[in-house]
Amino acid sequence: MPILNPAHDRMHPVEGESAWSESYYFNGYDPDSDVGLYTRIGIRPNEGTMDVMLASWQPNNQIAFVRAKREQKEMCESPLEVGGVRYTCQNEGKRWHLTADTEARLYDLKTREHRKIPFSLDLEFDALTPMIGVDGQGKKKEGASAETAGSTGKGHLEQAGRWSGWIESDGIRQTLGDRARGNRDKSWGPRRWGGPKMWRWFSINISDDVHFGGIRIGTDAGDLHRGWVWRDNELASLVEWRVRTETRSDEVTQKTCFVTAVDKLGREHELRADVMRVFPGGVRPGETVVNEGLASWTYEGQTGYGIAEYLHQFDDEGQPLVPIE
């Protein structure tokens, strides 16, 4: 996966696919205040919509959740705003500013009880790595690559960074500490959530100098492995994700992930994720479910934080179409 030009932070030409999407995603976590977030804004001009999802990890095993949609028939540049959530690019490839002033639902992740609360944030994301990814151009794709490009996007980039600012939930403001880190990504091209048979997506910040990102996607043409490791100020592509998962009692929700990330130089990076919280979690027969797992990641004696995200396609009996390895 090459380093991309910062100009890819701008919008790309819209193609004729009805499901054409350009989306921005951010995640982050501060272990000192025990708060964080993951959020996505997607623009689908051929369908005429812009939507936002924002979830904020909160102390005491809670999460604040926001979702909204509005009309948007043409592609638009930063700032992106929907439902009281706003993303602003302040410096392409280097800095983004996120704000929110809206209403959220605060969920107890154990009981699933929830209530409406006021929610706001003011955060800045400062890059620690270049933008890493694929631009969707070049030679014609075949097999799993072609199938994936038709359902999860043609172009994709990821970037690690440092967070600063504050998050306020139900009147309680938490200021992020010096250890707040996270990743962002951007995808453009056709996006059909029901397309992949499964995926395992990992977003990992071990330290300011060590970051991992990437995905293993299940398709009818086989599994596609993509990813990167940034270490010692150098980039290496990942060519394989070997994953073994211990689940909760429902035999679906990820609890511990044992991951071997193999890079193009043949090095095997052994990582372990101890999943702290998952949303939404559980089994939903006949549905597509993306379980976002906030995790403590261990690598070579160091501990960092990040995401272990599992997408499942459930059959009518509530079994994943692809068994969890």
Please say whether the beta carbons of 263 and 271 come within 8 A. no
1 pLDDT tier (thresholds 50, 70, 90): confident
Residues in contact with 159: Cβ distance below 8 Å, sequence separation at least 6, in sequence order: 93, 127, 129, 130, 131, 132, 183, 184, 185
User: Quick check: helix, strand or coil at residue 9?
Assistant: helix
Identify the CA nearest to 202 among candidates 190, 211, 210: 211
Q: What are phi and psi of 152, to 5 degrees?
A: -125, 10
Report how far residue 118's alpha carbon sits from residue 174's, in angstroms, rounded to the nearest whole number: 14
pLDDT at 105: 99
> Encoding tokens for residue 106?
């605060």
Report how far residue 193's alpha carbon sits from residue 18's, in angstroms, rounded to the nearest whole number: 14
Residues in contact with 170: Cβ distance below 8 Å, sequence separation at least 6, in sequence order: 64, 106, 117, 118, 119
What is the per-residue pLDDT across 245-261, written as a single tens digit (0 to 9) for each?
Answer: 999 999 999 999 999 99
What is the per-residue pLDDT across 177-220, written as a single tens digit (0 to 9) for each?
Answer: 999 999 999 999 997 766 789 999 999 999 999 999 999 999 88
What is the per-residue pLDDT across 100-109, written as a single tens digit (0 to 9) for each?
Answer: 999 999 999 9
Which one-letter amino acid corresponds to residue 285?
A: P
Q: Count the Cβ atoms, other than its own, within 10 Å of residue 51.
A: 19
pLDDT at 195: 78
- Tell me if the pTM is above 0.85: yes
Please say whether the beta carbons of 134 and 148 come within 8 A. no
Identify the CA nearest to 6 among candidates 81, 89, 79, 74: 89
Q: What is the CATH number of domain 194-325?
A: 2.40.370
Residue 2 reports pLDDT greater than 70:
yes
Torsion of CA 13, 75, 7, 78, to 10 degrees: 180
Residue 131 reports pLDDT greater than 80:
yes
Q: Residue 170 has what DSSP assignment?
A: T
Matching fold, domains 1-192 and 194-325: yes
pLDDT at 194: 67
pLDDT at 221: 87
> Encoding tokens for residue 68?
């909204």
Report how far residue 191's alpha carbon sits from residue 256's, in angstroms, rounded to the nearest whole number: 29
Report whether CATH 2.40.370.10 matches the domain 1-192.
yes
Domain ranges of the chain: 1-192, 194-325
Question: Among 79-83, 90-94, 138-142, 305-309, where is mean pLDDT lowest?
Answer: 138-142
What is the per-residue pLDDT across 67-76, written as a single tens digit (0 to 9) for each?
Answer: 999 999 999 9
Identify the CA nearest to 214 among candidates 269, 253, 286, 283: 269
pLDDT at 220: 87
Residues in contact with 172: Cβ distance below 8 Å, sequence separation at least 6, in sequence order: none
- Residue whose pair of structure tokens reads 């996607």 in the numeric block: 217
145 pLDDT tier (thresholds 50, 70, 90): low
DSSP letter string over 48-92? TEEEEEEEEEETTTEEEEEEEEEE--S--PSPEEETTEEEEEEET
